[in-house]
A and B are shown apart, each in its own frame.
Chain A
Amino acid sequence: MADQEEQPSPKSPWVGRSISRREDERLLRGAGRFAADENVPGQLHAAILHSPHAHARIVSIDTTAAEAMPGVEVVITGQSSLDLWQPLPPSVDLVDMRLPESYALATEIVHYAGEPVAAVAASDPYLAQDAVNAISVSYEILEPILDRRKAIEPGSPLVYPDWPDNRQCLWEFSFGSVDEAFEKAEHVVSRDVAAHRYSAVPMEMRALVSRFDPVREELTVRVSTQIPHQARTILSWIFGLSENNIHILAEDVGGGFGNKLQLDVEPIPILLSIMSGKAVKWVERRDEWLTSAPASRDFEHRIEGAFSSDGALLAVRDHLIGDVGCDGAVRAGGAGALLVAGTYGPGPYKVQRYSTKVEIVVTNKAPYGAYRGFGKDVANLAMEFLMDEGAKSVGLDPLEIRRRNLVDNYPYEMATGPLIESGSFLSCLAKVEKAMDLPALKARQKAGLVDGKYFGYSVISVLEPSAATIPNSLFTGYESATVRLSPSGDVTVLTGMMHIGQGIETAAAQVTADLLGVIPESVRIVSGNTDSVPYGLGSFSSRGATYGLSAIHDAALVVRKKLLKAAANLLETDVTAVEIADGFATVIGAPEKTLSIPEIAKAVYFFPGPYIVLPDEKEPTLEAQAVWTNPQVSWTPDVHGRIRMYPAHASGAQGATVTVDPETGQVVVEDLWIAHDSGKMIHPKIVEGQIIGGTIQGFGGVMMEQLAYDQDGNMLSQTLADYQLPNFLSAPPVHVLHGEVNSPVTPLGTKGVGEAGAIGTPTVLMMAVENALTPLGVSVASSPLTPERVLKMIDGEKV
């Protein structure tokens, strides 16, 4: 067996070309419309008071001083607002998850340091903050639960007293004769590996401007979100307003990465606007983001593998414990990531005996949300370490053991149910191996220390599932689009996808331009406006290239057929004799017989009109709506209880080189390589940008970023100086190697690519550091790889 061959793509004028991005003109001029750029005359400004304690009972709140301050219009607390809204609705409710009842403002108990407890609307943002500072709260401090291991010991104090223990969810799954394989296997290995708490930290924090018209009961919210339609639905549920009276406007979003998939704080300023009947603006501060926005990672694995003497992976057992802070299902939906980790535990390897136990644990930390990777990174970390352990035990080269086990016939049904529709794992691995020049790296390592520093490298495989369709959630998996060719001949695409930096407007324009024979510049993309765009699910789970573009493709195809028909009628020829390109419909072989797209459009709508130009067409306007669902999704459990939630699977491989200074613990990442095959590339430079960006996020996460708590549960990383994002000096070079085996499932051959770099980079760096420190016998059991922690690892301390 071997990888699938790359097929030459049919010629297309725009798809496949790295054209200038449609988004850039406005953004380069600073004319993007980010949520905080909106101002409404007479608007009030909201400020929020956050709990300084991780776990406490609110005894009393005194707001009298705040209310008396000039300019202050509304002050609310959890108790005073109790009748004005509903608890936050869950965003996922899977496998008997326990769902805490949480209001946007704490009502009795605060569950993390940073939880909102009161809020103010005032005429000026500085005054609003003054008023918040004047609110006095009396707390009865409760014991904080901060350690995931201790939290699940019998008798542990409880985060939620009405729960029997601190598990939000427990999921166990087994397929095949796992125990039998372990008993018989020649090689049995195990590995403990863990990751710390960090998150996406987009450059734009949460922000909104909310307007309420009390006469019409009409709510208009401009907000930074990845999911405008679900935002509308959520607000309807929370405030009991008719959904058709709520308007969400979301244009430019300053980075999402999964962190803007919930509305847990946003209802507070919106309530202030409903109460005051005035516009209320709220712009989050960075310390508020770092203490209360969704966190991610923070898990530990114990993984065991049974290998045959020739290195075949016979069976895998995994035990995953994740710390979702106070909530991974209601305030934010990150608990789903840990279930995805259990589902994708087998990774890209042919193993048909697999069992997993996933324990999702609550503690007194900020909520747990989605972040680029969403559990695929969690799965990758354990399985790749296991492969290296297996290689050591069997006595094989780490690449060879991977080659022997990688999936190489398609479609491949994983032990957990997902169907890998196509792929090229072997050639991705080969590409990285070649680009890194492994023999040279091995020689360098053999030559010994240079300047007292150890040199190390590693190579891993990566499976990138994308386009999640999660039952019983706000992310069920379909996408809508409307494509319009107006009477004047210009094209509008309405899409449920959001521009969050991934270039969706450009890609949508390319796809539409190809089908309608126009130039991408003439295609206008409308998104983030819930009044005009058909209900769609937004941008998450790398779904733009599959769901978003497939819906646009299908809608544009309907318009294309009508356009061709109209052109054929006007040119008095058969529809098969007409081609459209460059803004004209032309009779094939007769270039003089031609009409411009605007001429055809005008003829269809008005002069002479549809009864002549499209006489047989029931819907003769040049407009169509399509909803795309993926035929590979299956929510009906099979006899083993397995469902298929992810319909797209990209292949990949990664490599890294590092040096480690054993005196200081300083790790220098020299180079990162990443080969990927995400199917057809609509815009190769956008694909490359996604991969490099995700890779540097993975690098930052594993090397330096940290949402660190002290022993009382206070957030230590309250500024970007503490949190440590990668910068111009720290970000290493990333070498991208493309593959392009088209998906057999999507109309354009696309798969998702947004998470490629974020999935494997933490793994490949932890393994490269362990490889460098092999002479010292160091096991890299957890991140981050900060100098202090690496030194401790070298000294044999448990970190």
Chain B
Amino acid sequence: MQFRLNGGDRKCKVSPRTLLVDVLRDECGTTSVHIGCDEGICGACTIFLDGESVKSCLVLAVQAEGKDVETLEGTGSGKELDVVQQAFGEEFALQCGFCTPGMVVSARALLKNNPNPTDQEIRAAMVGNLCRCTGYQNILKAVKKSAEKLQSG
């Protein structure tokens, strides 16, 4: 199969039953994509597929044929952390960091569609991303701060 991963072309051989998350982690070495459940509940494997945020444990690799896959690493200049990543750090919105890549991707997805979300809109949009360490309070603050920074340009 062929697809684009964070702007680069990728080719790999997969069996029809292989999950996209396994291809990203094991074939492509994109280990920012984490597996916390394999059931579509925890959101640690959230990525963009053709611009839409999806849980990559619920996508067969072959469904990504010819598509654009973007993981946590896909945004930002590479050297600098992007606005959302910075805000997560500034607001202490991560502890063990396992859920963080999925959280950041979901926050980016929300802010792309809704640049000025209310608290309740943030909670509703991110309800599919579980965090066991922080209790969510600081993640909410980080997403709000990201929105403010992105709005003020």
Contact = CB atoms under 8 A, between A and B. Distances in A.
Interface stretch (B62-70, B99-107, B144-152): B99-107
B56 interface: no
B129 to A, nearest CB: 7
Given A30-B31, A204-B34, A734-B137, A254 B129 contact: no
A726 B127 CA distance: 10
A114 B153 CA distance: 53
Given A126-B15, A720-B41, A727-B127, A27 B100 contact: yes
Interface stretch (A326-334, A466-474, A692-700): A692-700
Given A720-B39, A729-B123, A126 B95 contact: no
Given A203-B36, A286-B39, A689-B95, A731 B135 contact: yes
A12 interface: no
B96 A28 contact: no
A725 B130 contact: yes
Interface residues of B, number: 56
B89 A28 contact: yes
B15 A29 contact: no
Contacts of A36: 25, 31, 35
A689 B92 contact: yes
Interface size class on chain A is 35 or more
Contacts of B134: 689, 692-693, 696
B42 interface: yes
A794 B98 CA distance: 40
B54 interface: no
A729 B130 contact: no
A499 B88 CA distance: 18
Nearest to A256: B96
A720 B52 CA distance: 24
A354 B30 CA distance: 57
A719 B127 CA distance: 17
Interface string B8-30: 00000001011000100110011
Contacts of B95: 255, 501-503, 689, 693
Interface stretch (A16-24, A213-221, A512-520): A16-24
B126 interface: yes
A720 B42 contact: yes
B133 interface: yes
A695 B134 CA distance: 10
Nearest to A207: B35
A21 B95 CA distance: 9
Q: In terms of DSSP, what is the predominant structure of the interface of chain A?
A: loop
A37 interface: yes
Given A203-B42, A728-B127, A29 B81 contact: yes
Contact of A31 (B32, B38, B131): B32
Interface string B41-66: 11010000000000000000000000
Interface string A107-144: 00000000000000000011000000000000000000
Contacts of B100: 27-28, 30
Interface string A231-261: 0000000000000000000001111110000
A685 B92 CA distance: 7
A286 B37 contact: yes
B111 interface: no
A204 B42 CA distance: 10
B135 A696 contact: yes
A695 B135 contact: yes
A203 B98 contact: yes
Contact of B94 (A27, A37, A253, A283): A27
A727 B97 CA distance: 16
A638 to B, nearest CB: 39
A653 interface: no
B116 interface: no
Interface in A37-83: 37, 39
Contacts of B139: 728
Contacts of B133: 255, 501, 689, 693
A32 B96 CA distance: 9
Interface string B71-112: 111000000010001001110101111111100100000000
Contacts of A29: 32, 72-73, 81, 85
A582 B153 CA distance: 35
A486 to B, nearest CB: 27
B122 interface: yes
A726 B33 CA distance: 22
Contact of A252 (B37, B90, B97): B97
7 contacts: A24-B94, A29-B72, A29-B81, A30-B33, A203-B98, A689-B134, A728-B136
Interface of A: 18, 20-21, 23-32, 34, 36-37, 39, 125-126, 200-205, 252-257, 283, 285-286, 499-503, 685-686, 688-689, 692-693, 695-697, 719-721, 725-729, 731, 733-734
List 5 A-B pairs, minimum CB-CB distance, nearest first.
A30-B32, A27-B97, A501-B96, A254-B98, A696-B135
